[in-house]
């Protein structure tokens, strides 16, 4: 698959616009954990994204974090399927796809370290996920904070398998960009800026754009500026997003544009 393969665009040719944090009940919830939530929180996420003209969503589909555990597998990664959870994931992916939105699952959370060396299980599980979701996903993020749990070589190995055996869609990874650990065969990069997203709106537009330009230049691939600021109702986060979408090589942002 071409390294220039871009995240699929919606019918109106818009880039991927989403928000990981979602205001809820005076606090916040996060789309990473969408599949762990009850129906009320899921509805809140969907309604907020639509109301704020977001056209995409990123969700974890394998998370070993004991506080937010979710898996479609009953016993082990790539093992027996939990049919109820499988159907829930597929139905939601189809819902997003059929509505013209962009569905991008993230396969691993940063709590999945014990799966790092299980390469054969990785291949089995990835093939299962491809059979489930190839008709509906628009891109795949291999891992949240991928360089924290996988070496560069491990990320590149699984990304290559996904590209050659599982999907024709773009495959990327996520994290704070580091040229030393970035998987060079990724089709795109889901970028987290080098600060706590809780402090994102204390950083200027100029600083954000300068870092965005550096990431695109150093990575050599399309970049989704996914994680910048966790104040989605704040004007500064939206100013960041509006500035970043103007960069050549930007395929998406992590805050509403208006």
The structural domains of the chain, with segments of one domain joined by +, span: 16-253
> For tokens 């699952």, what's the residue?
105
Instruction: Say if pTM beats, i.e. exceeds, 0.85.
Output: yes
CATH class of 16-253: alpha beta
Q: How far apart are the first and last CA of the chain?
A: 34
Q: What is the pLDDT of residue 5?
A: 44
User: In 3-state terms, what secondary structure has residue 209?
Assistant: helix
- Rounded to whole angstroms, what are the CA distances from 157 to 142, 152, 174? 11, 9, 16
Q: What is the DSSP letter of 53?
A: T
Q: What is the pLDDT of residue 3?
A: 41
Below-70 pLDDT ranges, the chain: 1-14, 111-117
Q: What is the pLDDT of residue 9?
A: 42
Nearest-10 crossing angle of helices 119-133, 83-98: 50
CA-wise closest residue to 63 among 51, 54, 73? 73
Q: What is the pLDDT of residue 112?
A: 62
């Amino acid at each position: 698959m071409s390294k220039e393969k871009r995240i699929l665009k919606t019918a109106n040719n818009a880039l991927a616009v989403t928000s990981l944090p979602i205001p809820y009940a005076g606090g916040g919830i996060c789309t990473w954990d969408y599949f762990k939530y009850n129906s009320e929180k899921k509805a809140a996420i969907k309604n907020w994204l639509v109301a704020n003209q977001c056209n995409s969503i990123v969700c974890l589909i394998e998370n070993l974090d004991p506080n937010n555990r979710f898996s479609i597998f009953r016993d082990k990664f790539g093992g027996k399927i939990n049919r109820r959870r499988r159907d829930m994931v597929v139905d939601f992916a189809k819902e997003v796809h059929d509505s013209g939105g962009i569905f991008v699952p993230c396969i691993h959370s940063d709590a999945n370290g014990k799966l790092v060396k299980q390469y054969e299980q990785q291949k089995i599980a990835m093939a299962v996920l491809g059979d489930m979701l190839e008709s509906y996903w628009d891109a795949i993020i291999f891992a949240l904070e991928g360089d924290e749990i996988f070496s560069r070589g491990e990320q590149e190995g699984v990304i290559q398998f996904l590209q050659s055996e599982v999907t024709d869609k773009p495959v990327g990874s996520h994290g704070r960009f580091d040229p030393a650990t970035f998987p060079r065969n990724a089709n795109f990069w889901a970028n987290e800026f080098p600060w706590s997203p809780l402090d994102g709106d204390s950083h200027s537009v100029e600083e954000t754009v300068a870092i965005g330009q550096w990431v695109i230049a150093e990575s050599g691939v399309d970049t989704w500026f996914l994680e910048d600021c966790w104040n989605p109702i704040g004007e500064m986060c939206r100013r960041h997003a509006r500035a970043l979408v103007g960069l050549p090589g930007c395929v998406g942002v992590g805050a509403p544009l208006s």
